[in-house]
Amino acid sequence: MTAIVELRQVSKSFGNLKVLKDVSFDVQPGEVHALLGENGAGKSTLIKIISGVLHPDEGELRVVGEAVRLASPREARGRGIATVYQELLLFPELSVAENIYLGHAPRTRWGAIDWPKMRSGARALLDSLDSHDLDVDTKVGLLSVANRQRVEIAKALSQEARLLIMDEPTAALADSDARKLLTIVRRLRDRGVGIIYVSHRMQEIFALADRVTVLRDGAFIATKPIGEVTEGSLVSMMVGRSIDQLFPKTETARGATVLELRNVSHREIVRNVSLTLRAGEILGIAGLIGSGRTETALTIFGITPATSGEILVDGKPVVIDSPAAARALGIAYVPEDRGLQGLVKPQTIRENISLAIIDRLARLLLIDRRREGQLARESIARFGIRARGPEQLVRQLSGGNQQKVVLAKWIATEPRVLIMDEPTRGIDVGAKAEIHALMSKLAGQGLAVLMISSELPEVLGMSDRVLVMRGGAVVAEFDRADATPDAVGSAMTAAGQSSLEGAA
């Protein structure tokens, strides 16, 4: 069988940084080929070459046996190569159907857009993806991330894709949505579509892939059938060493209560939340998407100030009506959406890391550039950010490295309470272990950590206590010892009826 696409000895550089070195890669029809590697290994770059966004400096690209030079993503689409990018690219103001058919809408004989055909086509595509509940006339901006992703996939399929490329499709999804996505991918594979699948989640790779290819620092390491590898062997291929512990939780002495919420509400979204957070403690919040976890964090951080209830810092009631007020109290928030809320992407790493403490870096209002540069260099070293240097633009970094920049920025404020919303989203195993270790270390130094995560293993592995939220309210609380996947999982869905209101 001829491969749908094949890369032969492809190299690519940005400036004098060689991002891909002599990489060979191919995808057969009806197979899921997983692409693995650390943050910045070159996965997205490889994908962009196949989808016509970038051109290889050396080597060749073959589509169904024919050597081609793809002038644009449009040409790649014309050849049946469809891509769902790491950062979703839909137009929020347009409807689902319009997004799906953007650029290739069905036409009437007169050349006008054939609306009925477009809507019924969109409907059929979504149905084939088991998304019967998704309305084709809704504006995309109103959809959840999971649904937006289904629209992206439908869009890819609307152009008769022979190859579907998915760059970290589940990074932003909750477990249940991620499982649904896997079903969709399997169904496409059975139709004979070839799939390139990038993910940092190991279970998915084993559940889905037929073959895996590992990249490290832009170099090709190996391509193996999934049966010949184990999680351990993949990790050591990726990072060049083995990782002993993904959840390096250390027991720390808990200090005094730093943050306390008493019946805090924000409109109808956050309802009577009470919680206490002590120095040295990691408090995990589990819950489904839409359960009010992020909204609670935003209330503590002053983005959506509390409309009733009381917040106490060090036992004293405080008013937090803006992020600036929260920051002044030593509260830091690593947001859920790094592109929108966390980073100023057109600016440099240096400018991003210093942004939240810029007034502290200034003397007589003038920014101390030397100290700022030093802070950036230290952070790059401390967090292992892969970059050319402090002056590189953040938008040029790989997804995982962008996340590290957001973390670095907030750690630089030397907070007393650190709220982390999906802290390891899109981060590779190696970096994940590093971030977990860092979290443990910071807690050990007396930082109070509030961690929101959709990855249950992460919540259970890292937390001293686990709160479960549902419908904007805290519905259960577990100590580390009692927090089993079953107990927490059933409290998250309505099935669990244990209603221990937020205690202590």
Partner 1 sequence: MTIRSFLRHETILLLLLVIALIVLAQQSDRFFTTDNLLNQARLMAEVGLLALPMTFVIVTGGIDLSVGSIFGLAAILLGVFWHGLGLPLPLAMALAVLVGGIAGLGNGLIITRFNVPPLIATLATLALYRGLAEGISQARSVRGYPEWFFVLGQGEVLGLPTQLWFLLAIAIAAAIVLGLTTFGRTTYAIGANEVAARFSGLNVARTKLLIYTGSGLVAGLAAVIFVSRVSTTRSDMGTGLELDVITAVVLGGTSIFGGRGTIIGTLLGLILMQALKSGLALGGVKGDGTIVVIGVVLIAAILLGNLLSRNGDG
Ligand X SMILES: Nc1ncnc2c1ncn2[C@@H]1O[C@H](COP(=O)(O)OP(=O)(O)OP(=O)(O)O)[C@@H](O)[C@H]1O
Contacts of partner 1 in 363-402 (CB under 8 A):
365-367, 391, 393, 395-396
Closest distance of CB 142 from partner 1, Å: 18
Question: Is there binding between residue 199 and Mg ion (CB under 5 A)?
Answer: no
Closest distance of CB 186 from Mg ion, Å: 23
Contacts with ligand X by CB under 6 A lie at 14, 17, 19, 37, 39-45, 86, 386, 396-401, 428
Write out the two tokens for 430.
């190696």
Closest distance of CB 122 from partner 1, Å: 30
Closest distance of CB 198 from ligand X, Å: 7
Closest distance of CB 392 from partner 1, Å: 9
Gyration radius of the chain over CA positions: 24
Which of 44, 276, 354, 403: binder of Mg ion (CB under 5 A)?
Answer: 44
Closest distance of CB 271 from Mg ion, Å: 37
Return phi, psi of residue 449, to 5°. Answer: -115, 130
Contact by Cβ (8 Å): 354, 361: yes
Question: Is there binding between residue 92 and partner 1 (CB under 8 A)?
Answer: no
> How would you class 180 by CB atoms within 10 Å of its CB: exposed for 0-12, middle for 13-18, buried for 19 or more?
middle
Question: Is there binding between residue 355 and partner 1 (CB under 8 A)?
Answer: yes
Which CB atom, from 35 or from 375, has the smaller least distance to Mg ion? Answer: 35
Closest distance of CB 370 from ligand X, Å: 25
Q: Give the position of tokens 């019924």.
A: 120
Q: Binding partner of residue 160 among Mg ion, ligand X, partner 1, none, CB under 5 to 8 Å per kind? A: none
Question: Is there binding between residue 51 and Mg ion (CB under 5 A)?
Answer: no
Please name which of 443, 461, 455 lies closest in space to residue 492, comparing C-alpha atoms.
455
Contact by Cβ (8 Å): 282, 463: yes
Contacts of Mg ion in 82-101 (CB under 5 A):
86
Question: Is there binding between residue 113 and partner 1 (CB under 8 A)?
Answer: no
Question: Is there binding between residue 342 and partner 1 (CB under 8 A)?
Answer: yes
Q: Mark the segment that binds Mg ion (CB under 5 A) among 10-18, 78-86, 112-120, 412-420.
A: 78-86
Helix (H) or strand (E) run with residue 316 in it: strand 316-318
DSSP state of 249: -
Which CB atom, from 228 or from 359, has the smaller least distance to partner 1? Answer: 359
Which CB atom, from 281 or from 428, has the smaller least distance to Mg ion? Answer: 428
How many residues make contact with Mg ion (CB under 5 A)?
A: 4
Q: Alpha-carbon distance 217 to 23, whole Å?
A: 11
Closest distance of CB 402 from ligand X, Å: 8
For residue 184, what are the contacts with CB-CB under 8 A and spacing of at least 6? 129, 130, 150, 153
Which of 399, 415, 423, 461: binder of Mg ion (CB under 5 A)?
Answer: 399
Question: Is there binding between residue 149 and Mg ion (CB under 5 A)?
Answer: no
Closest distance of CB 438 from partner 1, Å: 20
Q: Alpha-carbon distance 257 to 400, whole Å?
A: 33
> Regarding beta strands 473-479 and 465-470, do their DSSP bridges make them parallel or antiparallel, or are they unpaired?
antiparallel
Question: Is there binding between residue 341 and partner 1 (CB under 8 A)?
Answer: yes
DSSP state of 34: E
Angle between helices 145-157 and 115-128 (to 10 degrees): 110
Question: Is there binding between residue 348 and Mg ion (CB under 5 A)?
Answer: no
Site map 255..294 versus partner 1, x via CB under 8 A: ----------------------------------------
58 strand-pairing partners: 11
How many Cα neighbours within 13 Å face the side chain of 503? 10
String of DSSP letters for 328-397: HTTEEEE-S-IIIII--TTSBHHHHHTGGGTTTTEETTEE-HHHHHHHHHHHHHHHT--SS-TTSBGGGS
Question: Is there binding between residue 500 and partner 1 (CB under 8 A)?
Answer: no
Q: Binding partner of residue 494 among Mg ion, partner 1, ligand X, none, CB under 5 to 8 Å per kind? A: none
308 strand-pairing partners: 265
Q: Give the position of tokens 């309470």.
A: 417
Q: Alpha-carbon distance 358 to 111, whole Å?
A: 55
DSSP state of 139: B
Which CB atom, from 265 or from 398, has the smaller least distance to ligand X? Answer: 398
Which of 242, 346, 381, 481: binder of partner 1 (CB under 8 A)?
Answer: 346
Q: Which residues bind partner 1 (CB under 8 A)?
A: 14-15, 303, 322-324, 326-328, 333, 335, 340-348, 351, 355-356, 358-359, 362, 365-367, 391, 393, 395-396, 409
Q: Which residues bind Mg ion (CB under 5 A)?
A: 44, 86, 398-399
